[in-house]
A and B are shown apart, each in its own frame.
Chain A
Amino acid sequence: MSENEKNKAHYSVEDIEKYFQGKFGPNEMHAIEKAAIDDPFLADAMEGIRHALQKQETGTLYQDIEELKQRLDRRITKKRKVIFLLSDRGWWQAAVVLLILAIGGITTYYIVHNNKVSLAVSSLAKKENPDHSNADSSKTAIVLSPPSYADSASIAETLPATRSFKIIARTSDRKKGRTAHKQDTSVMANNIASLSDKPNAGVQQQSSPRPTTAAGEEVRNTQPDFKKSPAQSYFSGKVTDKYNQPIVSAHIELKNKKINTVTDKNGNFRLDIKDHDPTANAEIRSEGYDPAFINLNNGAGNTIILHESKSYLPQVVVGYGKSGKIETNQIIPQDAEPINGWDQYKIYLDKNKRPPLDSLGLKGTVLVSFMVGKNAKLSDFTIEQSIGPGYDEEAIRLIKEGPHWKLLAGKKTRAFVVVNF
């Protein structure tokens, strides 16, 4: 036999089936057997077919081959690889990809939509801020409109969803030539993105704009692509109100509360942050104003504008500090408030709280929630966070006997009060 003929004399599945079904005469059988002895390939194939025949459906193996021929035919006419079709996993992967794309599309739309609203506000802010001809290339102006925000590290998931807040921050890029508009858009996208479900630190600064596509993505104050400046040893600036009048004795404090200072009669301050994390935040507070947050990495020349807190707007902030407990001085977004405002309420709490006498002098915070009804009736008191039994009761007593509450949204709602001991 020539090489060619030898190679081409393949037995088909049909032949092998016949062999096992006894449809061949002895001579043919012998021929196959001989071939199988010499050819391990054939022998293996015969074994496979033999077992398959033993199982059940005889004669269908031939159909399998016909099907395979069709598949092969189709395969070679396809333009690209169809590995996907051969495994279930391929479909799953495709579905996941589509899902991600869909989510991306939706959130992009959401961001763009929000952008339009914020752009109007930012152009206003631009006018209000004349003090930006500073030679320092890394200046930042932060404009805050109420309400204000908590520390980025502190978000409570259990509390009601926050309203959407508008933060407009404008950053000047290293190159001063950048147009403000461009900055606004990109930074805004960044900020808006951070707001939708997690009110974030008040101030976002970027040395370079970082667009985020997912609305729910948290824009953190620590800037991983913060590249340029060497470690700053001082953080300084000026605190003013929206009319550019200096705010005297405003508190500036590092998040870890280790370093703080106050502004002088010109509203200027300086913090020595040599040994501190430059990506940390500082909080700027003043009585009657909403707190502001600023990232430290901007070094000098910061101008911080505080806005008067308007108590009719829902107060924000939720604080769960690193320990998971609510930090002091933080209030919660809600649709009800004390009739005289939060500041007065706090004063009331401080004045009237009577920690249980058998106490160990515990310090801490009790978070109480309760329903405020239409007639300002309070009910369904729930201790959300407790420091001890006596304290919880005292907290509830304080609320019950305290100033009345009013509803902001006109409907019965749950209110939250933080009582510090």
Chain B
Amino acid sequence: MSTLKNISPSSLSDQELIAAYRKSGDLRVLATLYQPYMDMVFGVCLHYLKEREAAKDAVMAIFEELVQKLQKHEVDYFKGWLYSVAKNHCLMHLRSAKRLQTTHLDPEHMHLTETVHLNGIMELEEHLEKLNDCLKTLSEEQKKIIELFYLHQNCYKEIELKTGMDWNKVRSHIQNGRRNLKICMEEKIKNKAG
């Protein structure tokens, strides 16, 4: 890791850094906030722009956007907000470059933001029992894969080997399984309340 003159890792939280930046307008603060996320921003830009040089430029351009935008907008959850800023930047760039590539958005590859919420739900102990019941409602495949992934902490590769299903399918099963579980859980909660 190269030593940087001006950007040092901070023990401050994102929120604290944002507040500090808004107050002072000091770019160094902003850079301290931005740098840990740069890897992911780069990855996202790579995904949309499909080209390394363009992605690098975009990472810097997004930083420029932050300079202005963080002063203007209130941001509660920086990571999520940064993600949408990055995504929008890439999409705008694609549009203006008139290279409007329609990528077929495979729903299997889409990670729904709901899943964040779902993770929270899954962790709550009081729902475990309901969870078990709901698990049973899943299809065999989905159930198996969910169990392998969550209960046995298997990685995709291992699941691939165990089930013979290809990686993408494994992922999509996990997605769908989670969604179904969530719906089931919500039903149960509703019923319980009612």
With contacts A11-B40, A64-B42, A70-B2 taken as known, whether A40 is within 8 angstroms of B83 at the C-beta atoms is: yes
A83 within 8 A of B: yes
A77 within 8 A of B: yes
Residue of A12, A13, A36, A83 near B111 (CB, 8 A) is: A36
> Once bound together, how far apart are the Cα atoms of A16 and B43, in whole Å?
9
A408 within 8 A of B: no
Contacting pair B60 A10 (CB below 8 A): no
**Shortest distance in angstroms between A410's beta carbon and chain B's nearest beta carbon?**
62
Q: Which residue of B lies closest to A6 (CB)?
A: B79
Question: Interface residues of A toward B: which range?
Answer: 35 or more
Which chain A residues lie closer than 8 Å to B154 at the CB level? 26, 30
A38 within 8 A of B: yes
Which chain B residues lie closer than 8 Å to A49 at the CB level? 43, 46-47
A398 within 8 A of B: no
Contacting pair B13 A7 (CB below 8 A): yes
Contacting pair B43 A30 (CB below 8 A): no
Render B136-158 as a binary contact track against A, CB cut-off 8 A, 1 for contact: 00000000000001000111111
Which chain A residues lie closer than 8 Å to B40 at the CB level? 10-11, 41-42, 45
Which chain B residues lie closer than 8 Å to A47 at the CB level? 43, 47, 109
Contacting pair A73 B7 (CB below 8 A): yes
> Once bound together, how far apart are the Cα atoms of A47 and B42, in whole Å?
11
Which chain B residues lie closer than 8 Å to A336 at the CB level? none
With contacts A44-B43, A48-B43, A48-B45 taken as known, whether A75 is within 8 angstroms of B52 at the C-beta atoms is: no
> Once bound together, how far apart are the Cα atoms of A13 and B41, in whole Å?
10
Which chain B residues lie closer than 8 Å to A8 at the CB level? 36
Which chain A residues lie closer than 8 Å to B79 at the CB level? 7, 39, 41
Contacting pair A45 B47 (CB below 8 A): yes
> Once bound together, how far apart are the Cα atoms of A3 and B76, in whole Å?
12
Contacting pair B119 A38 (CB below 8 A): yes
**Shortest distance in angstroms between B156's beta carbon and chain A's nearest beta carbon?**
6
Render A203-224 as a binary contact track against B, CB cut-off 8 A, 1 for contact: 0000000000000000000000
Render B21-60 as a binary contact track against A, CB cut-off 8 A, 1 for contact: 0000001101100111111111111111010100111011
Render A32-70 as a binary contact track against B, CB cut-off 8 A, 1 for contact: 011011111111111111011000000011001111111
Contacting pair B52 A64 (CB below 8 A): yes
A117 within 8 A of B: no
Contacting pair B78 A69 (CB below 8 A): no
Contacting pair B119 A10 (CB below 8 A): no
B61 within 8 A of A: yes
B4 within 8 A of A: yes
Contacting pair A72 B83 (CB below 8 A): no
> Once bound together, how far apart are the Cα atoms of A150 and B155, in whole Å?
90
> Once bound together, how far apart are the Cα atoms of A11 and B42, in whole Å?
12
Render B102-115 as a binary contact track against A, CB cut-off 8 A, 1 for contact: 00000001011101
Contacting pair A51 B50 (CB below 8 A): yes
Render B74-104 as a binary contact track against A, CB cut-off 8 A, 1 for contact: 0000111011000100000000000000000
A257 within 8 A of B: no
Contacting pair A65 B45 (CB below 8 A): no
Q: Which residue of B lies closest to A35 (CB)?
A: B119
> Once bound together, how far apart are the Cα atoms of A68 and B62, in whole Å?
12
> Once bound together, how far apart are the Cα atoms of A76 and B35, in whole Å?
12
Chain B interface residues (CB < 8 Å from chain A): 2, 4-7, 13-14, 27-28, 30-31, 34-48, 50, 52, 55-57, 59-61, 63-64, 78-80, 82-83, 87, 109, 111-113, 115-116, 119, 149, 153-158, 174-175, 178
Give 13 pairs: A residue, B residue, CB < 8 Å, sorted on A. A10-B39, A26-B155, A30-B153, A30-B154, A41-B83, A44-B87, A47-B47, A48-B43, A49-B46, A61-B42, A71-B60, A72-B34, A72-B63
